[in-house]
Structure 1
């Protein structure tokens, strides 16, 4: 249960905070298309991973036998 809580905490924290460096990378990158692809795939991929972690932990929590 403790690792599930830690995973969920890290995922939620990333979902709440990642917009800030994401925006700043876009500002500092300018119009470099390759850089934009790296930024977007990097950040959006990790956001999807965080969502998967939360969904899996939620599923484990509701199907857990006591």
Structure 2
């Protein structure tokens, strides 16, 4: 995975972003376990940048996916 420094923060962010709209009720409407599994796969591949918004109603997928990553997210 390639990373870039986020402006003046010094934070390294992946060049690839996971667009969380696709798993949300507004699009695929995946079951919680499946949506979380997909996000976890992205995290394991090195993605550390997730695009989401309150409108997507998908925070529960992200919350489930990052269990066990608390110190790293």
> Which of the five TM-score ranges fits, normalised by the shorter chain?
0.3 to 0.5
Q: More helix per residue: 1 or 2?
A: 1
Q: More strand per residue: 1 or 2?
A: 2
